[in-house]
Structure 1
Amino acid sequence: MGCNGRLLLILVLVISLLAVGCQGGAVEGTGEKILKQNSASGEPSSLDPAKAFDEDSMDVVGSLFEGLMRLNAQHQPEPAVAEKVDVSPDGRTYTFHLREAHWSNGEKLTAHDFEYAWKRVLNPQTASEAAFLLYFIENAEAYNTGKATADQVGVKATDDRTLVVKLKQPTPFFKQLTCYPVYSPVYKKGLEKNPNLYNEASGYVSNGPFKMKTWKHDQKIEVVKNEHYRLADQVKLDGISWTMVTEQKTAYQMYQSGQLDMLSRKSVPSDILAGLIKKGEAKVKAGSGLEFFRFNVTKPPFNNAKIRKAFALAVDRTAIVKQVVQGNEMPAGAFVSPGTLTQKGDFRKAASQFVPLTAQPAQAKQLLQEGMKEEGWKTLPPVTLLYSNNEKNKAVAEALQAMFKQNLGVDVQLQSQETKVFLSNQKAKNYQLSRSSFLPDYNDPYNYLESFQTDHSMNRTGWSNPQYDALVKKAFAEPDETKRLEYLHQAEKILFDEMPIFPLYYYNQVHVQKDYVKNIIRHPVGPSDYRFTVLDK
């Protein structure tokens, strides 16, 4: 080849490389539509559908998996992997007929994967915190507590496309429950070979709109569009990435510089949030759930109910919301949040209410003195408040510390821990006073109040009250809605009479996102839906 020929060949190669670079592809910055967001708590606690039970974990898992049903834009359950569902006249048997569906590796997904997944959640060895969400199924609780076998659980794949579910009693919100991540299928074939399948990116198999690409622990998670998803042609994003930045100021700087497309409330510095809301840069929507604090009633000084009430009544919730959190939240005066629906309407308006919690320093001091006298204490045992490490939690903890000092004369020590360590200690009751949060799994007051039954996995306080347990159990089995609500209101009153917890404020949804991010479906209950999200740059 002559000199001119070689020059021509080199020119053609250069032009080709430039063309590839302009067209985009797998390289960042080449035109791919990747939604960049942040996991504000850092490393998710788990990306196993059986164990993903915190907000950040479920956000990722919700994009990777899809259950029998899925919430639509109106937050109502509609068929997903199930094509249709038949309900027996007595409301106790649900027959789900599955459409043809596939795993992200191209293999067929069957009803047997669902049966395996649900029984895996209930298997005591799995130690799933969310197992109680399946207790509506016949013999589910008995199997989870070692009193029945897996074969006795009311879930059976009668063939590859049919799943029959038998419930303890009619459960009107059961379809809604099947939208929740813990009800997702799992890849039975893969898990039988590798029980740790969902602990790493390698080999991770899912069935949702996205599939796993990269998981660098404590750094980043990347998912990409799943070409085997049933509505793959409607998924416009090429992928989603989650960084793991726990420092709010750093996360906000990344958002400002374009490294992140959106931030949740937990990633926005509290000292600028009110200004962002006022300017319209931060959007506020109705939410559900609440921030609250747990007392460990098995450890002094919170083994005494009067002392627990003293600490609860020493807190000025309005001041914390307005001066510390600053996200237009509502101070909490009860446990079940407003907007929690029943067949009779909003639970908070459906029956007479007890007096909500407000700051009452004089009464708090009196209760503290009475409680100490009952215990024979001249000085209060040392108190430590435990919280998971982020700037908002720290600011709230410091505000509470100041209120306990001012209104009770008590010096409270603060202790922060990385999220996983914090949660582990809270579950093991290695604390005295602990920051907590509750996000409902389905929109019904029972979901809130079931958590404080004796030995419930979500109780974590050591508190037990037979009358409370009886009322919650009666509510669970009561077909008459008026009576059911009466039992639940009575149970909530007992919870506040004995005060193993105290509420702080009800959650709303606050997001900061770029104008070009469109069509995220944010549900009041459950993870967001990114199936139809577009980046309209």
Structure 2
Amino acid sequence: MKYIVIFVLIIVGAFFFFPFIKPKSKMSVLRLNMKTEPKTMDPRKGVDRYSMQMHFLFFEGLVKAYPDQSMKLAQAKSYEVSEDKLTYTFHLRDTVWSNNTPVTAYDFEQTWKDILRSDFPSMSASLFSSIKNADAAKQGLVSLDEVGIKAIDAKTLVITLGIPNPYLFKLLSFSAFFPVNIENDRKNPHWPEKVGPNFLCNGPYLLEKWIPSNQVVAKRNPQYRKTEDLHPEKIIFNIVENDAITLEMFEKGLVDVIGDCLTSIPLEALPDLEKKWSISRAPKPSSLFINLNTDKVPFNNSKIRRALGLAINRRELIEISGMDQNQANLSATSMIPPCLKENRCCSFFKDHDIIQARVLLEEGLKELGLTKEVFASVVLYYYAYSSGTNKLMQIIQQQWLKALDLFIKIECLEFGVAIDKLIRRDYSMGFACWIAMFDDPMNSLGKFKSKMHATNFCNWESPEYTQLLNQSFYEEGEARLDILEQAEKVFLSEMPYIPLYHEDYVYIINPRLPFTIPLWCNDRMLIPSKGTK
């Protein structure tokens, strides 16, 4: 496919793959902000963008995705594939952990099997579904010994699939498939919690400093494998929640990039910024939506879910987002961002269809034997995704009131609290943003294959939908995309979540940097023109 998308790699690509021009008397340092603390430094557990940013710095998997749309071997030096495309044998390089002990196939095997333990707190287990018996092991139905992951010796890892997987290498480049040092993990289970000799890495960086809620500093790992990739010597992340403060730091030269996936540019500041800076935009494999808990009344009725979805005016939402009004494909009348499916733009329902929304609401309430009073106890929970999120939620609230005569309460929560509600299914309506982990529509589609998947926050599943996803594993190219679009149509016909809009990156790089910094937005390195306007 055209796009190589790695979750939260808008900045990581710049870390890994660009030539820094090092000044003679100054260390090459990249200074960035991020809105909140990484939830975990353990790649087995983290799914938030801030944690994954760290995982791509400190760890490395079998393969690596590059911004020139190529996929290259990383910790693996070679591999073989069986004729039926079900068995992959990887041979590891002679690489070491940051304490100079060998990275082994046993580290990969046990790390992945940890994720598949039924009692292990990981949100990434569904990504392993195509591996033989992975789902069954996570459900506690078979032992981990029956899972198709096996270290034959210290340098040979065999992966046996239950079904062919046309996007396997894209998955393997994602941070959930990075290894941890298993011997260290068993001896020092709290290693991810602080800087020190027990924080062992195999990626290009070491954790030099971590001041909770304040700063994370990464420095180049001298034990990292030899590669032509060049890296800055140090990367400093300041943890700053407020967008206005981050903008002020940028204008004072204290931050080198704003508008990446770790920060946002305040929308109200864009008109003035455009007079002073070169503002760049790029497609983003990201969607904003409202999860609906289909196990909760009244969202156990698909007509009510669709009524709320059809009543929304997405063009109005895009207008307040500060994104390009000319890009009609940003309006999410689809589930998958076009950049994840070779820019195929499909619309599966009519935006702002008030007449149909009213009909569906009336029919749905009648089927449940309820009145509009049922919405009096409903709360839409959200978190401050960007500086404009509060306004976004208020506009959606007003659109529902105007179109459907429904007043739905909204409540802003701290990011971790909001996500925890989704994870525990302790909600009826919950706003969220999803950024692609890898370059494939299955990023979004796969998590709804079963209610058992940890990231299926909507508790929705459909036999027809599951059958289509299973069928897609045996197809490639256009035929596969056609099947996945059929699944997308099934999903949106029941609308377990309400898509709002797909995003663009809107970002600025300091043109006065003493080195060149291509910014990797999803698939490409983007090098904005230098100088101010």
Q: TM-score, normalised by structure 1?
A: 0.85
Correspondence for 1:200: 194
Correspondence for 1:423: 419
Distance 1:210 1:486, change over 3 A: same
Distance 1:211 1:124, change over 3 A: same
Correspondence for 1:518: 516
Displacement of 1:320 in angstroms is: 0.9
CA contact (8 A) 1:76 1:176 kept: no
Correspondence for 1:407: 403
Match of 2:433, SS state, is strand
Instruction: Report the residue type matching 2:463 in the other structure.
Output: P
Correspondence for 1:384: 379
Correspondence for 1:314: 311
- Cα-to-partner distance string for 1:384-420 (whole Å, 9 max, x where unaligned): 1111134232221122112112222222211111111
Instruction: For 1:524 and 1:79, locate their aligned partners in 2 and report how far apart those are by CA, in whole Å.
Output: 19
Instruction: For 1:399 and 1:313, locate their aligned partners in 2 and report how far apart those are by CA, in whole Å.
Output: 15
Distance 1:490 1:529, change over 3 A: closer
Correspondence for 1:24: none
Correspondence for 2:152: 158
Gaps of 5+ in 1: 1-29
Correspondence for 1:282: 279
Instruction: For 2:93 and 2:324, locate their aligned partners in 1 and report how far apart those are by CA, in whole Å.
Output: 43
1:448 aligns with 2:444: yes
Instruction: Report the residue type matching 1:208 in the other structure.
Output: G
Displacement of 1:252 in angstroms is: 1.0
Instruction: Report the residue type matching 2:112 in the other structure.
Output: W
Match of 2:506, SS state, is strand
Instruction: For 1:250 and 1:47, locate their aligned partners in 2 and report how far apart those are by CA, in whole Å.
Output: 26
2:258 equivalent among 249, 263, 266: 263
CA contact (8 A) 1:334 1:503 kept: yes
Correspondence for 1:359: 352
Instruction: For 2:135 and 2:223, locate their aligned partners in 1 and report how far apart those are by CA, in whole Å.
Output: 35
Instruction: For 1:101 and 1:207, locate their aligned partners in 2 and report how far apart those are by CA, in whole Å.
Output: 8
Instruction: For 1:292 and 1:62, locate their aligned partners in 2 and report how far apart those are by CA, in whole Å.
Output: 26
Distance 1:502 1:260, change over 3 A: same
Displacement of 1:482 in angstroms is: 5.8
1:369 aligns with 2:362: yes
Displacement of 1:209 in angstroms is: 0.8
Instruction: For 1:161 and 1:454, locate their aligned partners in 2 and report how far apart those are by CA, in whole Å.
Output: 35
Match of 1:287, SS state, is strand
1:64 aligns with 2:58: yes
Instruction: For 1:354 and 1:377, locate their aligned partners in 2 and report how far apart those are by CA, in whole Å.
Output: 31
Match of 1:380, SS state, is helix
Instruction: For 1:521 and 1:151, locate their aligned partners in 2 and report how far apart those are by CA, in whole Å.
Output: 42
Displacement of 1:425 in angstroms is: 0.4
1:494 equivalent among 487, 490, 495: 490
Instruction: For 1:277 and 1:492, locate their aligned partners in 2 and report how far apart those are by CA, in whole Å.
Output: 37
Displacement of 1:323 in angstroms is: 2.2
Correspondence for 1:299: 296
Match of 1:502, SS state, is strand
Instruction: For 2:161 and 2:99, locate their aligned partners in 1 and report how far apart those are by CA, in whole Å.
Output: 33
Report the structure number with the largest CA radius of gyration.
Answer: 1
Distance 1:523 1:176, change over 3 A: farther
- Cα-to-partner distance string for 1:229-283 (whole Å, 9 max, x where unaligned): 1137853412112122121111111111222111235421122236646865321
CA contact (8 A) 1:209 1:231 kept: no
- Matched residue pairs, number? 493
Distance 1:520 1:172, change over 3 A: same
1:224 aligns with 2:219: yes
Instruction: Report the residue type matching 1:370 in the other structure.
Output: E
Correspondence for 1:435: 431
CA contact (8 A) 2:333 2:347 kept: no
Match of 1:506, SS state, is strand
Correspondence for 2:13: none
Greater relative contact order, per chain length (Cα 8 Å cut-off, separation 6+): 2
Distance 1:232 1:105, change over 3 A: farther
Displacement of 1:129 in angstroms is: 0.6
- Cα-to-partner distance string for 1:3-30 (whole Å, 9 max, x where unaligned): xxxxxxxxxxxxxxxxxxxxxxxxxxx9
Instruction: Report the residue type matching 1:298 in the other structure.
Output: D
Instruction: Report the residue type matching 2:444 in the other structure.
Output: Y
- Cα-to-partner distance string for 1:6-55 (whole Å, 9 max, x where unaligned): xxxxxxxxxxxxxxxxxxxxxxxx93322111112x11222211112122
Distance 1:144 1:189, change over 3 A: same
- Cα-to-partner distance string for 1:281-333 (whole Å, 9 max, x where unaligned): 32112221311111112223322222211211121111111223436671111
Displacement of 1:354 in angstroms is: 5.6
Distance 1:49 1:403, change over 3 A: same
Distance 1:470 1:407, change over 3 A: same
Distance 1:357 1:247, change over 3 A: farther
Instruction: For 1:318 and 1:507, locate their aligned partners in 2 and report how far apart those are by CA, in whole Å.
Output: 13
Displacement of 1:480 in angstroms is: 6.1
Correspondence for 1:187: 181
Correspondence for 2:9: none
Displacement of 1:508 in angstroms is: 2.4
Instruction: For 2:191 and 2:432, locate their aligned partners in 1 and report how far apart those are by CA, in whole Å.
Output: 30
Correspondence for 2:20: none
Correspondence for 2:71: 77
Displacement of 1:503 in angstroms is: 0.9
1:326 aligns with 2:323: yes
Q: Percent identity?
A: 29
After TM superposition, list the pairs within 5 Å mapping 1:78-97 onto structure 2.
78-97=72-91
CA contact (8 A) 2:60 2:179 kept: yes
Q: Which moved more, 1:177-186 or 1:354-363?
A: 354-363
CA contact (8 A) 1:67 1:179 kept: yes
Distance 1:385 1:120, change over 3 A: same
Q: TM-score, normalised by structure 2?
A: 0.86
Instruction: Report the residue type matching 1:55 in the other structure.
Output: R
Correspondence for 1:339: 339
Displacement of 1:69 in angstroms is: 0.6
Q: Which moved more, 1:222-231 or 1:488-497?
A: 488-497
The CA RMSD measured in Å over matched residues stands at 2.6
Instruction: For 1:176 and 1:463, locate their aligned partners in 2 and report how far apart those are by CA, in whole Å.
Output: 26
Instruction: For 1:471 and 1:199, locate their aligned partners in 2 and report how far apart those are by CA, in whole Å.
Output: 41
After TM superposition, list the pairs within 5 Å mapping 1:451-462 onto structure 2.
451-455=447-451, 456-462=453-459
Instruction: For 1:347 and 1:267, locate their aligned partners in 2 and report how far apart those are by CA, in whole Å.
Output: 25
Q: Which moved more, 1:200-209 or 1:185-194?
A: 200-209
Displacement of 1:448 in angstroms is: 2.0
Displacement of 1:195 in angstroms is: 1.9
Displacement of 1:200 in angstroms is: 2.2
Distance 1:55 1:122, change over 3 A: same
Q: Which moved more, 1:201-210 or 1:509-518?
A: 509-518
Correspondence for 1:213: 208
